[in-house]
């Protein structure tokens, strides 16, 4: 069974200046035990997609429609509050970008992990505490007992992100959604956290959705990649084949523009122009105004088509 | 913590003396004395005699030290406008109605305001929010004597359910307390709404939802507790501000409270009473700020537990 | 040739209150310790390190936006730590700064043309119409159309705001530019544009740039030399390619090792060293092997192992 099944998801935010079309017809799925990377720049709709999947957006103002929005067979569009609360944290858990603001500042780390355990399972407080302690040990916290008694402001970002991961794993979820889990952290801490997430994912056999703007993080952690731009999926496929032979002009340009791949001081290959307006997105392919291969046809929306074995892309100029 | 409190108490004591000196000098800087009123002309000889009997002929610093010496022994002197009793006796007589009016007004208005503000924050941009905003805005913009007048008109004059004035039977308390409660109700509603919205927009609330915590628990345990932090700092001082009663409400409902004395003691150069009233309020504010700071520290682990690595 | 900027024995301590009350106590935080750095004319030097390493503080000190506890800051050979406020003001024309967060660095009430012209206004350079024309020229040079002159900063994207910040910094034709994480808040596709702009402007104007960043990939593409900071000290300093190909200090190696590799075929499990392990691995060198004369000491010091490669080591 598919852990996540999204078909034709759109998310709109009506505003005074017009409707922000954050997600415009996105489809992807996640198989059991698989790790999927969703890569995109700010405003690409990658985070909103996952927030919509768990129905974490405030509705209204958010308006979510989809042909299918399923989490382990459960229809997330029709689920009521109680159903949603029982799914979140238990079936699918989330790790967020900034660990410094992700914990309630007035409660201890221990309290916040224990309340998560007790929200989904009927265990005694002392048993929950023992479990919290062993979870912290699992994320390589040296002194779990002290960590349980600590308040968020007493800990560093790296420590808090470990605690966040421990909390996310506390109800043994089938899916872990990590939304830019290392963006706020230093590069050495980032490497440690990524290695930790990767290790736990294969050890526990969870599905992993890694949302990031960093292609390096994608290259290091996931099996399959979804590339998003302007609220749409541009390209999708196994990580090796995407890096070896990117098909979509956007993916190609993105990979070319990353600095530091060749020795010596040099000008970079840049993508001209800026991100598309979320209120008035360009007609057709959202990348066509910045694309050097675009022609008149690109003003029509390209179909998301199979281009090779388990690879899909949305571009008229292919193959 | 204990050191901190001791330090604060010392600074309150200092405030007390500085304040007393400032008030004393300001009172005496205003021209005229208690016997200069036009309605009760007295001859200069009599005035001098009266002044001497009250010690008002002495140099200012002597008067000040004499007064403060008395204050240290809980002797606040005799009010000139009511020489048959001491200032303390006057306070004991006139304060209870004001305290009941202000206290009950806050005790009724504040919780209602908090509930209204919570409802508005949780149902923001719906009719609940708009209604709460309208109530709060009206409560803050309509002067309390207009509210009082309307209450008297509706419930006393037209419906005849309740007495229009007086302070005798408990049913005569109802209208003034309602009139008075509108102020804390409106203030707390606005304050609670913004404090709640502030917390509801924090990332950790999304994390709590993503953990699958029931909404009820998120609101009542996490959001309220965090919203309470900035609220405790204004709650107590606001309470004190209202516990001294309202001149307007007391005047409208003819309540023999403290309100009238604030005006008369200044008009009549009733030095002892004026001093006592202002010092009393100063002290109450100082203590309430101290208490709310302590409450804030106890609620906020950043202060209670201290630093850490960051 | 006189370097554009030179830091000599720069120190900065902050005093953190650890206990309040009547008798507060303080601990000294040594944010920058004995930093020596040369920014040669017409070059870009990278200053890299993690948060709390002191790299941003060093940048602020170099601009004298913070007062150093001790040490010298030489701009074109003049020690600016000795200058009074009036002399410093005219000296500031030579040194400008660009920050990461251009959103809060640009006045929301001013048009872009006013923002860019403001330094000219402050230093009384040219007439109002000359200032305006120069500002529009500068906006055009950083890649913003002249009609952007009448717009406000909130109408711009992050990349465009950073262009405005660069235009404002360069309108006085400074010789030294301190750029503190100028591309960190930008999207991947825009980052390359700003890096290219900095490269072009540097070449075109003979600028010298101190480029402060935690992003080692950007530093590799942009800089001639790199200094690596850790706990307020410079632990290694060399030509950029030397740092990336033959790093000598364990901290530099740890930093480089942590960079994600852009090739999914090359995944591997990393070994992570603790700060204690890194400190314990400080290189031990014999005085006789060093490029410059140096006295043996048990305390780690920055020594030259090659003409242009300095590393912190214990000299025996």
Of A89, A98, A155, the CB nearest to B210: A89
Q: Looking at beta carbons, which residues of chain B come within 8 Å of C21?
A: 3-4, 7
Q: Does the pLDDT value for residue B2 go beyond 60?
A: yes
CA angle (B211 as vertex; B205, B216 as ends), nearest 5: 60
Cα–Cα distance for residue pair C179/C160, rounded to 1 Å: 16
Examine residue A319 and say whether the peptide bond preceding it is cis (omega within 30 degrees of 0).
Answer: yes
Mean pLDDT within C7-24: 75
A319 class by beta-carbon count within 10 Å (0-12 exposed, 13-18 middle, 19+ buried)? exposed
Q: Verify whether the Cβ–Cβ distance B229 to A106 is below 8 Å.
A: yes
Q: Verify whether the Cβ–Cβ distance B206 to A89 is below 8 Å.
A: no
Q: Does the pLDDT value for residue B241 go beyond 70?
A: no
Helix (H, G, I), strand (E, B) or coil at A20: strand
Of A56, A60, A155, the CB nearest to B209: A56
pLDDT digits (tens, 9 = 90+) for A108-137: 999 999 999 998 888 898 998 988 888 888
Q: Does the pLDDT value for residue B310 go beyond 50?
A: no
Binding partners of A (≥3 Cβ pairs within 8 A): B, C
Q: Please report which confidence band the pLDDT of residue A64 belongs to, taking 50, 70 and 90 as the band edges.
A: very high
The values of phi and psi at residue B180, to 5°, are -70, -35
Q: Does the pLDDT value for residue B308 go beyond 50?
A: no
Q: State the pLDDT at residue B309.
A: 40
Query: Distance between terminal CA atoms of chain B?
Result: 21
Q: Looking at beta carbons, which residues of chain B come within 8 Å of C18?
A: 307
Neighbouring C-beta atoms of residue A228, cutoff 10 Å: 27
pLDDT digits (tens, 9 = 90+) for B200-224: 888 899 999 999 888 888 988 899 8
- Comparing A293-297, B208-212, C18-22, C152-156, which segment has the lowest mean pLDDT? C18-22
Q: What percent of chain A has pLDDT over 70?
A: 100
Q: Please report which confidence band the pLDDT of residue B34 belongs to, taking 50, 70 and 90 as the band edges.
A: low
Q: State the pLDDT at residue B39.
A: 58
In B, minimum Cα distance to C17 occurs at: B307
Q: Verify whether the Cβ–Cβ distance A275 to C220 is below 8 Å.
A: no
Check if the beta carbon of residue A133 is closer than 8 Å to that of residue A148.
yes
pLDDT digits (tens, 9 = 90+) for A282-303: 888 899 888 888 888 889 889 8
Of A186, A257, A274, the CB nearest to C188: A257
Check if the beta carbon of residue B174 is closer than 8 Å to that of residue B102.
no
Q: State the pLDDT at residue C247.
A: 92
Helices (H), C28-127: 55-62, 85-91, 102-105, 112-122
Alpha carbon of C49: minimum distance to chain B alpha carbons (Å): 18
Give which of C264, C271, C278 to mutate to test A binding, by max A Cβ within 10 Å: C264
- CA C73 to centroid of chain Cα atoms: 14
pTM for this prediction: 0.81
| Residue the block writes with tokens 């540097």 | C202
Mean pLDDT within A30-58: 91
pLDDT digits (tens, 9 = 90+) for A192-217: 888 888 888 988 889 999 999 989 89
Neighbouring C-beta atoms of residue B82, cutoff 10 Å: 17
> If you average pLDDT over every residue of chain C, what do you get?
86
Between β-strands A2-15 and A68-71, what pairing exists: parallel, antiparallel or unpaired? Answer: antiparallel
Task: Tell whether B263 lies on the interface with A, counting CB pairs under 8 A.
Answer: no
Q: What percent of chain C has pLDDT over 70?
A: 97
Question: What residues of chain B have any CB closer than 8 angstroms to a CB in chain C?
Answer: 3-4, 7, 307
C205 class by beta-carbon count within 10 Å (0-12 exposed, 13-18 middle, 19+ buried)? middle
Q: Does the pLDDT value for residue C270 go beyond 80?
A: yes
Q: Verify whether the Cβ–Cβ distance C259 to A261 is below 8 Å.
A: no
Query: Distance between terminal CA atoms of chain C?
Result: 33
Q: In 3D, which of C37, C48, C41, C43 has the Cα closest to residue C10? A: C37
Helix (H, G, I), strand (E, B) or coil at A118: helix
Size of interface A-C (CB pairs under 8 A): 124
The values of phi and psi at residue B239, to 5°, are -60, -45
CA angle (C34 as vertex; C28, C37 as ends), nearest 5: 140
Cα–Cα distance for residue pair B191/B179, rounded to 1 Å: 20
Which residues partner with C309 through β-bridges? C238, C306
Q: State the pLDDT at residue A55.
A: 92
Cα–Cα distance for residue pair B302/A152, rounded to 1 Å: 9
Examine residue A60 and say whether the peptide bond preceding it is cis (omega within 30 degrees of 0).
Answer: yes
């Amino acid at each position: 069974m598919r852990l996540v099944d999204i078909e034709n998801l759109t998310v709109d935010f009506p505003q005074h200046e017009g409707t922000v079309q954050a997600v415009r017809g996105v489809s992807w799925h996640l198989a059991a035990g698989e790790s999927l990377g969703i890569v995109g720049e700010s405003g690409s709709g990658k985070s909103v997609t996952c927030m919509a999947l768990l129905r974490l957006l405030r509705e209204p103002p958010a308006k979510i429609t989809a042909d299918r929005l399923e989490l382990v067979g459960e229809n997330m569009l029709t689920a009521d509050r109680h159903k949603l609360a029982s799914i979140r944290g238990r079936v699918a858990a989330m790790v967020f970008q900034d660990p410094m603001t992700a914990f309630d500042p007035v409660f201890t780390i221990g309290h916040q992990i224990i309340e998560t355990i007790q929200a989904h399972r009927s265990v005694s407080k002392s048993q929950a505490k023992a479990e919290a302690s062993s979870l912290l040990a699992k994320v390589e916290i040296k002194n779990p007992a002290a960590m349980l008694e600590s308040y968020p402001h007493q800990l560093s970002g790296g420590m808090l992100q470990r605690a966040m991961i421990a909390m996310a794993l506390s109800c043994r979820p089938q899916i872990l959604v990590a939304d830019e889990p290392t963006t706020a952290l230093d590069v050495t801490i980032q490497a440690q956290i990524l290695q930790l997430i990767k290790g736990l994912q294969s050890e526990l056999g969870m599905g992993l959705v890694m949302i990031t703007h960093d292609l390096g993080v994608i290259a290091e952690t996931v099996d399959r990649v979804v590339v998003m731009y302007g609220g749409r999926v541009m390209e999708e496929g196994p990580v090796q084949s995407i890096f070896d032979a990117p098909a979509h002009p956007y993916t190609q340009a993105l990979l070319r523009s990353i600095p530091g791949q060749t020795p010596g001081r040099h000008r970079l290959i840049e993508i001209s122009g800026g991100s598309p307006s979320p209120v008035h997105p360009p007609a057709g392919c959202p990348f066509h105004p910045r694309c050097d291969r675009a022609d008149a046809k690109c003003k029509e929306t390209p179909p998301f088509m199979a281009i090779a074995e388990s690879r899909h892309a949305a571009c008229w100029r292919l193959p | 913590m204990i050191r901190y409190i001791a330090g604060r108490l010392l600074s309150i004591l200092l405030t007390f003396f500085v304040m007393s000196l400032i008030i004393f000098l300001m009172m005496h800087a205003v021209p005229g004395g208690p016997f200069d009123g036009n309605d009760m002309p007295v001859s200069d000889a009599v005035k001098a005699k009266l002044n001497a009997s009250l010690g008002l002929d002495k140099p200012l610093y002597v008067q000040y030290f004499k007064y403060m010496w008395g204050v240290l022994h809980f002797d606040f002197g005799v009010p000139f406008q009511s020489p048959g009793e001491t200032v303390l006796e006057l306070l004991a007589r006139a304060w209870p109605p004001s305290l009941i009016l202000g206290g009950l007004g806050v005790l009724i208005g504040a919780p209602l305001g908090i509930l209204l503000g919570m409802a508005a924050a949780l149902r923001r941009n719906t009719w609940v929010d708009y209604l709460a905003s309208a109530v709060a805005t009206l409560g803050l913009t309509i002067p309390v004597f207009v509210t009082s007048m309307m209450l008297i008109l509706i419930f006393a004059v037209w419906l005849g359910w309740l007495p229009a004035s007086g302070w005798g039977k408990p049913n005569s308390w109802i209208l003034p307390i309602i009139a008075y409660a509108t102020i804390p109700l409106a203030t707390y509603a606005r304050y609670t709404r913004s404090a709640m919205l502030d917390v509801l927009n924090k990332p950790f609330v999304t994390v709590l939802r993503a953990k699958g915590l029931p909404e009820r628990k998120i609101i009542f345990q996490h959001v309220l507790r965090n919203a309470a932090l900035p609220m405790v700092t204004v709650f107590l001082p606001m309470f004190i501000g209202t516990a001294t009663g309202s001149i307007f409400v007391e005047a409208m409902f003819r309540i023999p409270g403290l309100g009238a004395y604030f005006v008369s003691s200044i008009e009549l150069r009733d030095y002892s009473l004026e001093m006592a009233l202002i010092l009393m309020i100063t002290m109450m504010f100082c203590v309430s700020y101290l208490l709310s700071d302590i409450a804030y520290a106890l609620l906020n682990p950043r202060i209670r537990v201290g630093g850490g690595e960051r | 040739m006189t370097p554009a900027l030179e830091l000599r024995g720069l120190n900065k301590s902050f005093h953190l209150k650890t206990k309040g009350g009547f008798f507060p106590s303080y601990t000294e935080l040594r944010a920058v310790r004995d930093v020596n750095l040369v920014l040669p004319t017409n070059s870009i030097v990278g200053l890299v390190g993690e948060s709390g390493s002191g790299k941003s503080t060093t940048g602020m000190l170099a601009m004298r936006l913070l007062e150093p506890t001790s040490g010298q800051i030489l701009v074109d050979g003049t020690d600016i730590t000795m200058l009074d406020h009036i002399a410093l003001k005219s000296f500031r024309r030579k040194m400008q700064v660009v920050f990461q967060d251009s959103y809060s660095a640009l006045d929301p009430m001013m048009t872009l043309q006013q923002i860019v012209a403001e330094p000219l206004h402050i230093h009384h350079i040219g007439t109002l119409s000359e200032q305006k024309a120069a500002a529009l020229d500068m906006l055009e040079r950083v890649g913003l159309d002249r009609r952007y002159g009448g717009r406000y900063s909130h109408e711009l994207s992050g990349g465009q705001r950073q262009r405005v910040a660069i235009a404002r910094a360069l309108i006085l034709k400074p010789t030294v530019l301190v750029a503190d994480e100028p591309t960190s808040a930008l999207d991947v596709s825009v980052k390359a544009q700003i890096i290219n702009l900095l490269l072009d402007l540097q070449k075109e104007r003979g600028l010298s740039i101190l480029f402060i960043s935690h992003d080692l990939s950007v530093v590799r593409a942009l800089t001639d030399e790199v200094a690596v900071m850790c706990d307020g000290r410079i632990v290694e300093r060399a030509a950029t390619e030397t740092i990336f190909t033959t790093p000598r200090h364990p901290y530099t190696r740890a930093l480089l090792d942590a960079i994600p590799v852009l090739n999914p075929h090359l995944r591997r499990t990393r070994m992570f060293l603790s700060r204690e392990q890194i400190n314990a691995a400080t290189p031990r060198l014999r005085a006789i092997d060093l490029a410059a004369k140096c006295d043996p000491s048990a305390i780690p010091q920055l020594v030259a192992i090659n003409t242009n490669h300095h590393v912190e080591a214990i000299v025996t």
